[in-house]
């Protein structure tokens, strides 16, 4: 699958560079071969006469997404609002082999534009990144998604802090539960950084992020969205359970990891901004600098509770965590989301969507298919 279209819906100046390219720049993306390969993109010139994209002089190939589920990206030129949008498909990454009534989903729409970033992109450790060049692709969630936030079910850290307090310190090894929101559709905004950068007497935070707790047992369950401050790596860690203590541990043997180093990480001493979306098992993470990580987290279905929100889920099952040293949390807001499309799916069907289909229902379906095929053959 390949897609090419203008990516310069909006350009922003950085440093002393001219924020307007000398020639129009185009975005070209491919999903090579099988859908389990990463999608890559290039930014460069396109000749409308020969209808050829100049790969030789373009920046790339660069991974479009740090995760392992995005494939077949498609783009839309939104001429009404002067912007370029991208959708992709999110494949399944289940470990548990079974029969399910769905496979794959569409990602959230992303707005694309180019930003002037200088002569090189660097990692948190100072090494030159994988996409040197003057321009960098910036991806952000569609702004209209805020209209899907539920008007009555949300939580904001600033509203919970005492008067005069603007942030919260989460100690190393501690967890801060995300209250007041629940359900399968969540939108979260975070801004945080290590709290002990200027104090050598305190242990420095090595990583911060979100712990996504499981509502089911087995190999597919809890996961953690983690950012490592020294390496600039953003990743999702699965099955990170210490066998001795049965508690979460980044050093747990056999833990799976999906992600990689950010090309434009926050500079040392500056916070990381994240926008995190959960749509059942589909996790989409946008950084403030325009990079994305899409992954699957199969937490299962939460038990119903009469005292919970209107969606029937008791809590978010999400904690903010800090590893080793403390993290300063400047902003955290969480919102329940309403579906973007009207659906005839009942609440009961939605609750059991992540559960395997009963084997007898599959066999009944196969029998019906055979009967229809036989009847069609006789009629022919």
- Give, for 373, the enclosing helix (H) or strand (E): helix 359-379
**pLDDT given for residue 353 in this prediction:** 60
Domain segments of the chain as ranges: 2-144, 149-337
Q: Pick from 226, 224, 298, 231: which is nearest to 265 by CA? A: 231
pLDDT tens-place string over residues 341-374: 766 666 666 666 656 655 554 444 444 444 444 4
pLDDT at 185 over 60: yes
CB 128 within 8 A of CB 265: no
- On the 0-12 / 13-18 / 19+ scale of CB atoms within 10 A, 376 is exposed
The pTM for the full model equals 0.81
Q: Range with the lowest mean pLDDT among 109-123, 264-278, 297-311?
A: 297-311
Averaged pLDDT for residues 178-184: 88
* CATH architecture, domain 149-337: Sandwich (2.60)
pLDDT-based confidence at residue 197 (cuts at 50, 70, 90): low
- Give, for 375, the enclosing helix (H) or strand (E): helix 359-379
pLDDT tens-place string over residues 249-260: 788 888 889 999
pLDDT at 204 over 50: yes
**pLDDT given for residue 199 in this prediction:** 59
**What kind of fold does domain 2-144 have according to CATH?**
Tachylectin-2; Chain A (2.115.10)
pLDDT-based confidence at residue 104 (cuts at 50, 70, 90): confident
CB 157 within 8 A of CB 310: no
pLDDT tens-place string over residues 281-331: 899 999 999 999 999 998 877 654 434 444 444 478 899 999 999 999 999
**pLDDT given for residue 328 in this prediction:** 96
CB 288 within 8 A of CB 134: no
The whole-chain average pLDDT of the chain stands at 79
Averaged pLDDT for residues 147-158: 92
**pLDDT given for residue 107 in this prediction:** 92
Averaged pLDDT for residues 195-208: 78
pLDDT-based confidence at residue 187 (cuts at 50, 70, 90): very high
SS3 call for 45: coil
pLDDT-based confidence at residue 177 (cuts at 50, 70, 90): very high
Q: Bigger pLDDT: 190 or 125?
A: 190
Averaged pLDDT for residues 151-159: 91
């Amino acid at each position: 699958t390949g897609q090419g279209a203008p990516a310069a819906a909006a350009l922003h100046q950085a440093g002393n560079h001219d924020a307007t390219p000398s020639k129009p720049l185009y975005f070209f993306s491919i999903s090579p071969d099988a859908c389990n390969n990463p999608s890559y993109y290039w930014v460069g010139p396109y000749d409308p006469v020969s209808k050829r994209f100049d790969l030789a002089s373009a920046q790339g190939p660069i991974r479009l997404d740090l995760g392992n589920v995005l494939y077949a990206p498609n783009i839309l030129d939104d001429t009404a609002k002067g912007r370029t949008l991208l959708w992709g498909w999110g494949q399944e990454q289940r470990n548990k082999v079974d029969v399910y009534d769905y496979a794959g989903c569409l990602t959230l729409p992303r707005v694309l534009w180019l930003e002037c970033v200088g002569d090189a992109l660097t990692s948190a450790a100072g090494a030159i990144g994988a996409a040197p060049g003057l321009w960098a692709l910036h991806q952000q969630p569609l702004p209209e998604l805020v209209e899907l936030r539920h008007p009555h079910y949300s939580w904001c850290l600033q509203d919970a802090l005492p008067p005069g307090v603007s942030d919260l310190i989460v100690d190393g090894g501690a967890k801060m539960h995300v209250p007041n929101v629940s359900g399968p559709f969540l939108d979260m905004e975070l801004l945080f950084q290590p709290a002990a950068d200027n104090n050598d007497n305190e242990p420095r935070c090595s990583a911060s992020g979100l712990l996504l707790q499981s509502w089911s047992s087995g190999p597919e369950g809890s996961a953690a969205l983690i950012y490592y401050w020294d390496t600039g790596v953003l990743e999702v860690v699965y099955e990170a359970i210490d066998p001795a203590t049965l508690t979460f541990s980044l050093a747990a043997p056999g833990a799976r990891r999906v992600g990689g180093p950010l090309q434009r990480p926050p500079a040392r001493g500056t916070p990381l901004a994240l926008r995190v979306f959960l749509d059942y098992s589909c996790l989409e993470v946008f950084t403030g600098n325009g990079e994305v990580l899409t992954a699957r987290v199969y937490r299962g279905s939460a038990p119903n509770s009469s005292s919970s929100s209107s969606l029937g889920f008791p809590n978010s099952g999400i904690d903010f965590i800090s590893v080793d040293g403390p993290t300063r949390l400047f902003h955290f807001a969480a919102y329940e989301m309403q579906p973007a499309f009207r659906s005839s799916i009942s609440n009961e069907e939605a609750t059991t969507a992540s559960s395997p289909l009963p084997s007898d229902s599959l066999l009944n379906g196969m029998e019906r298919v055979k009967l229809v095929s036989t009847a069609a053959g006789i009629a022919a």
